Structure 1
Amino acid sequence: MTPDIETVVIGAGVVGLAIARALAVVGHEVLVLERHGGIGQETSSRSSEVIHAGLYYPPGSLKARFCVEGRNLLYAFAKENGVPHVRYGKLLVATREDEIPRLDKLAETARANGVADVVRLSAEDVKAHEPAVSAVAGLYSPSTGVIDSHALMVALEGHVRAGSGSVVLETRVTGLGIRDDGAFEIVTESRAGSEQRTVLTSRNLIIAGGLGATELGASLAGQAGYAPPRTYPARGHYYALEGTPPFRHLVYPMPSEGWLGIHLTLDVTGRAKFGPDLEWQPEPSYLFDDQEGARRARFVEEIRRYWPDLPEERLVPAYVGVRPKIYAEGEAPPDFTIHTEREHGRARLVALYGIESPGLTSALAIGDFVAKLFGK
């Protein structure tokens, strides 16, 4: 029996849409299934929207490779498709003398990753770039920028639909199976108008479900002993800065244990926000809470390490993002995890886990990588 559709992608976040676009470009008939009423309503729409340069990631890792490749692809795609973006540049600052060795190590990592434009800054150089910032040393990354993530996803969806693809919203995948002939069976429930259960089949399947990827992957475990990585939701809060910010660049503190710290970013209109913090959760929660002002106090303390004159009264709650981490609190962050037949024993199945930062930057590179796994 011929499958209903050639290729199904589960998840219409930025990575799922980028994969669908790349497959459509090489001629696949693609169907993207999304459980929410709009594209990118989980991790993809609740980030810092930063186009990373590739400073942090271990040389040779998928994160390093896809970030550097994806950065260049993303700038080109944004320009060609009219997606708002700004190449602000970023200051990564050391606020204490004991942070300087780590700063220099990151400069070495950047060069090893092929990021050749990073410039070492003295305290005076930092002041020249950003007079409001206090630091003993810094790195300047001119290729770091920001992008309108929603406009990006709309453009990617447009490419999918312009090819031989479609995106179906409000359709939750509730079950996965494999027929005797090797085709995938996908059980869905649609909330469009009324609850409707449907079973469709596909020749190829990509799981790009973000926070839901572990559950989906577990339902298609193949060879004995395979289990998808566990997902640990990690909540991050953002505060916005009211009024005009005194900054022309993004400003980042030194990272620690896989967390980039509470950094300053500017959106494409020049508005400033700070975050995210890092709060491990048993279940995803988008509730912005600040019991008795403790969270705000922590933000103020962290921000004043590099911006001593922060006017606290201008900080206002903005939004909360939840990242699909595949490591527990206290563990070392792993690389992007992309499972193929070698890991799970199923032909024509690709499952992606733990695609958090720099997932937005890496999306187009990940899309091209997955498309090549299938060929045409």
Structure 2
Amino acid sequence: METVDCVVVGAGVVGLACARAIAASGREVLILERERAFGTGISSRNSEVIHAGLYYPPGSLKARLSVAGGRMLYAYCESRGVAHRRCGKLVVAAQREALPALARIRARALANGVEELLWLEPGAVKEIEPALDSCGALFSPATGIVDSHGLMLALLGDAERHGATLVLDTPVLGGRAEAGGIVLQTGGEAPMTLQARCVVNAAGLDAVRLAGQLPASSRGLPQAHFARGVYFSYAGRVPFSHLIYPVPEPGGLGIHLTLDMGGQPRFGPDVEWIDTPDYTVDPARAERFAAAIRKWWPGLEPERLQPAYAGVRPKIVGPGEADADFQIDGPAEHRVPGLINLLGIESPGLTAALAIGEEVARRIAAPQG
């Protein structure tokens, strides 16, 4: 049986950020990824937005880690040459009835320490985005976009320079606790039995299931739920230079407009609760998209909407329930030395990735008794 100091399960942006932070502290790190490439799941199927921390309850992990993580991410991208742009976004009240919700977002953002945030009346909105209809908006200049693949390449490069190793096509099937640590059984073309002093479960969509297969983790686990969100591209340019978001809807942030690093527009995601991860994009959903977008952009030409891709959010609450916080469970929660489960790491997970990595590294280094 092979032995290793630390295993990180999952090579998405959060797993790679954890591996980087742990390896930088001087620990031996092995990254196990079930797919044949890194970052093929949640990390490559999202809006690639660097969030400012507007929406999340004060004191929550989402609030703390997104605000800190966003600042860390801008500095990291600048230092590593990762493509990004601080383009700013408008959160729009399309009808007057949405203004109280917009005010609540503003209050939360200020409580979370978001320093740059402006309330704009309709006339001020028109000055910066003439094609946008609104009854008011919040302007967040700290919001931006990032090349998520370039970010993951940089994180992996950093982790490997500190001695970490990535092993692909290696799903973790389960594990058990022994005196020397946690014994993991892997599958794939070259199954292994590994003993690790610490294990970080950053398996994304599979994290809850895997946690149930690891020692003593089945007690108190949340139920896994999946929310699919589809994206539509737009044939041609749009008359916007900022990201445009409506007031959030249950389960997500509403159908919004983002721009990629090349300036190409995409709309989405919506929210559709599904039983198992499925990346199908139904072209018929374009009608619903058009109706939602026209509330704030009447000039939309629906025939230009084209199916693009879908992402799936790893929810730990179901339809109709209040959004859950990130769940970072270590020995204090499950009494298994060396084990950390990262559950429900959905948006703003990309923004918070570096801060999550530092948090996990800190918990691993803390004395355990």
CA contact (8 A) 1:15 1:208 kept: yes
- Which SS does the other structure have where 1:17 is aligned? helix
Residue equivalent to 1:197: 191
1:273 counterpart = 2:266: yes
1:339 counterpart = 2:329: yes
Residue equivalent to 1:5: 4
Over residues 179-202 of structure 1, what are the superposed CA-to-partner deviations in whole Å (9 max), with x where a residue is unaligned?
2x1411111123xxxx22211111
1:160 counterpart = 2:141: no
Measure, in 2, the Cα distance between the counterparts of 1:227 and 1:106. 31
- Which SS does the other structure have where 2:43 is aligned? helix
> Residue 221 of structure 1: CA displacement?
4.3
Unaligned runs of 5+ in 1: none
> Residue 314 of structure 1: CA displacement?
1.3
Structure 1 residues 1-376: aligned runs within 5 Å = 4-179=3-178, 181-190=179-188, 195-222=189-216, 226-290=219-283, 293=284, 295-375=285-365
Range that drifts further, 181-190 or 70-79? 181-190
CA contact (8 A) 1:262 1:275 kept: yes
Measure, in 2, the Cα distance between the counterparts of 1:137 and 1:173. 49
What is the identity, as a one-letter code, of the residue corresponding to 1:189?
G
> Residue 268 of structure 1: CA displacement?
1.1
Measure, in 2, the Cα distance between the counterparts of 1:209 and 1:227. 18
What is the identity, as a one-letter code, of the residue corresponding to 1:12?
A
> Residue 37 of structure 1: CA displacement?
0.8
- Which SS does the other structure have where 1:161 is aligned? helix
What is the identity, as a one-letter code, of the residue corresponding to 2:307?
P
TM-score, structure 1 as length reference = 0.95
Measure, in 2, the Cα distance between the counterparts of 1:345 and 1:222. 8
TM-score, structure 2 as length reference = 0.97
What is the identity, as a one-letter code, of the residue corresponding to 1:330?
G
Unaligned runs of 5+ in 2: none
CA contact (8 A) 1:221 1:227 kept: no
> Residue 98 of structure 1: CA displacement?
1.2
Measure, in 2, the Cα distance between the counterparts of 1:365 and 1:217. 22
What is the identity, as a one-letter code, of the residue corresponding to 1:208?
A
Measure, in 1, the Cα distance between the counterparts of 2:213 and 2:136. 50
> Residue 178 of structure 1: CA displacement?
1.8
Range that drifts further, 356-365 or 99-108? 99-108
- Which SS does the other structure have where 2:192 is aligned? strand
Measure, in 2, the Cα distance between the counterparts of 1:102 and 1:69. 24
CA contact (8 A) 1:221 1:344 kept: no
Superposition misfits of 4+ residues, deviation over 3 angstroms: none
Cα RMSD for the two superposed structures: 1.3
Measure, in 1, the Cα distance between the counterparts of 2:215 and 2:329. 11
CA contact (8 A) 2:173 2:213 kept: no
